[in-house]
């Protein structure tokens, strides 16, 4: 995604910022009257943090309040989350010599079942040999993800 700001619309703080200063951009859906659309309160959302110690992607300090940490989830729950993760599906694609667009959640789930020697992700029980295989798979994924260029096979 990219956007262009007219020089007259750039705040001085942004225009005069040191090169390399980092910013975050937030998108908010607007109502017809240009006011922000109300978001469902956190208390009504089901939140699960996929953040490490924890998650494959971000740090635990950025987890939504009340979210469960990655290591508090069962391996089956973790597997369900990763199957929906686009980076994990790319990781799977590279290991199965398939095109990334051919890997959907079900293909990712099948990869996990084969990798963990189970016929159902629910059988990846903590303390089991299957859980050890799962932990090893997650470790490989995280290492791949941290690589300077995700996509380099490790």
pTM: 0.57
> What would the mean pLDDT of 88-103 be, rounded to a whole number?
91
List Cα–Cα distances, 85 to 29, 62, 78, 97, 121, in angstroms.
23, 18, 11, 18, 16
Answer left, alpha or beta for residue 30, where phi above 0 means left and psi between -120 and 50 means alpha.
Answer: beta
pLDDT for residue 109: 94
Q: What is the pLDDT of residues 142-152, one digit of tens each?
A: 999 888 665 54
Mean of per-residue pLDDT scores for the chain: 79
- 92 and 141 in contact (C-beta within 8 Å)? no
Enumerate residues 6+ apart whose C-beta is below 8 A from 52.
Answer: 58, 59, 60, 70, 142
% of the chain at pLDDT higher than 90: 39
Q: Confidence band (pLDDT; 50, 70, 90) for 100? A: confident
- 51 and 60 in contact (C-beta within 8 Å)? yes
| Per-residue tokens: 111 | 């990869």
Q: What is the pLDDT of residues 112-139, one digit of tens each?
A: 999 999 999 999 999 999 999 999 999 9
Q: What is the pLDDT of residues 14-54, one digit of tens each?
A: 778 787 778 777 777 887 877 787 766 554 444 444 444 44
| Per-residue tokens: 96 | 């199965």
pLDDT for residue 119: 95
List Cα–Cα distances, 153 to 51, 125, 138, 141, 150, in angstroms.
23, 28, 14, 10, 8
């Amino acid at each position: 995604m990219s956007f262009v700001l007219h020089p007259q619309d750039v705040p001085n703080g942004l225009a005069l910022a040191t090169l390399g200063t980092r910013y975050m951009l937030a998108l908010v859906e607007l109502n017809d009257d240009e006011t922000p659309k109300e978001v469902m309160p956190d208390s009504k959302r089901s939140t699960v943090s996929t953040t490490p110690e924890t998650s494959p992607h971000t740090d635990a300090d950025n987890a939504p309040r009340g979210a469960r940490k990655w290591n508090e989830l069962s391996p089956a729950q973790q597997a369900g989350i990763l199957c929906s993760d686009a980076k994990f599906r790319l990781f799977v694609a590279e290991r199965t010599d398939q095109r990334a667009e051919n890997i959907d959640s079900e293909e990712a789930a099948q990869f996990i079942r084969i990798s963990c020697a189970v016929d159902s992700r629910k059988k990846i029980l903590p303390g089991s040999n299957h859980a050890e295989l799962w932990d090893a798979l997650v470790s490989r994924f995280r290492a791949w993800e941290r690589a300077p260029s995700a996509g380099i096979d490790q």
